[in-house]
Amino acid sequence: MSLAPPLFLQTIEDTAFSTWLRESESPFAFYFILLFHTFGLALLVGANVVVDLRLLGVARGIPLAPLQRLFRIMWIGFSINAVTGVLLVIAYPTKSLTNLDFYIKLAVIGLAIWVMQRLKTEVFADASLSEADMMARGATLAKWSLFLWFGAITAGRLLAYTYKYLTYPS
Amino acid sequence: MNFVYLHLFLNHFPIIGTLVGLGLLLVSLFGKNDDLRRASLIIFPAMALVAILVFFSGNGAEGAIKKLPGVSEAMIERHQGAAMLALLFMEITGAFSLVALWKSHETSNTTRWNWSLSAVLLFSIVTSGLMARVGTTGGDIRHPEIGTGQEEVTETSMLSKMVQRFEPSPDKFAGLMTASKWWWAFMMDMHFVGLALLIGTVGILDLRMLGFAKQIPIDPLHRLVPWAMAGFGVNLVTGILAFTGMSNYYTYDWAFWLKMLAIMLLGLNVAAFYLTGAFDSVEGLGPGEDAPPFAKFIAATSLVLWFAVITLGRYIQSYSDTISVHK
């Protein structure tokens, strides 16, 4: 890839907001957003992992139906991460958008959210299902969920080690 | 921050604590005393937690004294290698103690011997010996009344010669951690995976005690605790390895030490949960039943502290070099 990164990345980076996010010494700038991105991860993946483990037979004494309430926590976590994720891209647009890993991460998250929604609609939304039926229907989805969230975290962590440009090359 | 005082103050706890724990365990074997056995199984994980702080503070203490006249770097290296090996065995002892505690809870039968108790016994004996060596090699660094100030490190006894073969060279070990950025990235990745597992499982239990999803009875939720411990274990291992790889980066960082403080407070919180009757008061709660205020207080403390741990961990990078060392 010898082509220069597209110019709009530089335009975003030169805005006052992007510059503030990236360069401000304020504790509420970059690291604050990164922190909330981690909080969101803990809520989204943490809650989903509990549902996945239960569907795979861990702690079978936990009744499945009330676990439906965890989906709200997952969506809160997802919302936090959607907002903070956009802000992180605004802070370092060239770093993220020129990195293939960034697109892999988005794709994996998309798949993981799709699986999460299927868990909700196919396993939890049908009140007529017995616990055994729910587990039978949910086991494969739960395995995919664990695998995809592991992949999402990994792809996210790798963003710190795989970028080509930190900021727009001058 | 005076790391020398911190190190000298803390270092006695795991050395003496392990011996006390081992003593109690041995007495409990002969006297068939459940309370003593339980006490020893609680002391080992507590010491395993404190030993991490001692290990971390050692790097700051080294930084403060290594330029002083009469201090031999070779002596420090030997002490550090001994500490790494002892820390490994201390953490394994703590982990097996938690397994043994869990098993005795599951079977509500503390007198029955099982493999986990044998493992605790074996590892705590080895740990006690290794801790003694850490103490003496540490004392050799700067105690003019016992050392001769000699620069050469010579192992005199057969036993210490043998043990030394298993001790890593601190510098080489640190180099291994940072040699490949992919290994480092893998450790950080696993630290985040452990975080998600830990927060998810502990968080749901805490939230239930606070009144969220009350239809779930507590006892089956409590069975997620070994998964939380697995997450914590992953983060403990990756955290210690990361520290040994970049020890100066973490040592002079306020956010790092506050994070360690929060983790120690979480240890106390867990102890308060299981030892003050809070756990007994919630264990039998069925669907719709409310936890008593003290259990709620412990659950809220746990949530606040875990999010404090994440917060402080996140700020390590931006707070690096915020601790100035007075000479």
Q: Model ipTM?
A: 0.93
Q: What is the pLDDT of residue A3?
A: 67
Residue A149's nearest CA partner among A64, A31, A42, A37 is A42
pLDDT at B125 over 90: yes
Quote the tokens at residue A37: 């991105």
Of A41, A70, A157, the CB nearest to B189: A157
Q: What is the pLDDT of residue B327?
A: 40
DSSP designation for B268: H
% chain B with pLDDT above 90: 75
Q: Is residue B315 less than 8 Å (CB to CB) from chain A? A: yes
Provide mean pLDDT across the span B115-140: 93
Q: How far is B255 from B320, CA to CA, in rounded Å?
A: 8
Mean pLDDT highest for which of B68-82, B140-154, B221-235?
B221-235
**Mean pLDDT across the stretch B298-311?**
97
Nearest chain A Cα to B192, which residue?
A: A153
- The distance from CA A40 to its chain's CA centroid, rounded to whole angstroms, is 8
Inter-residue contact B173 to B84 (CB < 8 Å): yes
Give whichever of B128-142, B158-172, B187-201 has the largest mean pLDDT: B187-201
Residue A42 has pLDDT above 90, yes or no: yes
- In chain B, the residue whose alpha carbon lies closest to the alpha carbon of A154 is B189
Q: Across all residues in chain B, what is the average pLDDT?
A: 91
**A45 vs chain B: nearest CA distance in angstroms?**
6
Inter-chain residue contact B314 with A38, CB threshold 8 Å: yes
A41–B contact, CB cutoff 8 A: yes
A27 in contact with chain B, both atoms CB, cutoff 8 A = yes
Gap between the terminal Cα atoms of chain B:
11
Structure token pair of residue B92: 């394994």
**Is B200–A59 a contact, with Cβ atoms under 8 angstroms apart?**
no
pLDDT on residue B111: 59
Q: Which residue has the higher pLDDT, A2 or B217?
A: B217
Residues in A touching B200 (Cβ below 8 Å):
42, 45-50
Per the DSSP assignment, residues forming a β-bridge with B234 are: none
Q: Looking at residue B238, what is its pLDDT?
A: 98
For residue A77, pLDDT beyond 70? yes
What integer pLDDT is reported at residue B317 of this predicted model?
Answer: 87
pTM: 0.93
Q: Does A34 contact chain B (CB < 8 Å)?
A: yes
Choice between B105 and A135, residue whose per-residue pLDDT is larger: A135
Q: What pLDDT was estimated at residue B152?
A: 60
Tokens coding A35: 């922190």
Which of A161, A162, A163 to mutate to test binding with chain B, by most B CBs within 10 Å of its CB?
A161
Q: How far is CA B90 from the centre of its chain?
A: 8
Q: Facing residues of B253 across strands?
A: B320
The answer to whether residue A56 neighbours chain B at the CB level (below 8 Å) is: no
Half-sphere exposure of B265 (CA within 13 A, CB side): 16
Q: Are B238 and B186 in contact (CB under 8 A)?
A: no
A28 at B interface, C-beta within 8 A: no
User: Is pLDDT above 50 for A12?
Assistant: yes
Choose the closest CB to A158 out of B185, B197, B315.
B185
Residue type at B193? V
* Chain A interface mutation, best of B186, B190, B192, highest count of A Cβ atoms under 10 Å: B192
In the predicted structure, residue B109 carries a pLDDT above the cut 50: yes
Residue B149 confidence (pLDDT) above 60: no
Answer whether A42 touches B (CB < 8 Å).
yes
Residue type, B39: A
Q: Which residues contact B114 (CB under 8 A, 6 or more apart)?
A: B100, B103
CB pairs under 8 A between A and B: 105
B287 touches chain A (CB under 8 A): yes
Q: Which residues pair with B320 in a beta bridge?
A: B253
What pLDDT, in 10s, does the model give residues A152-168? 999 999 999 999 999 99
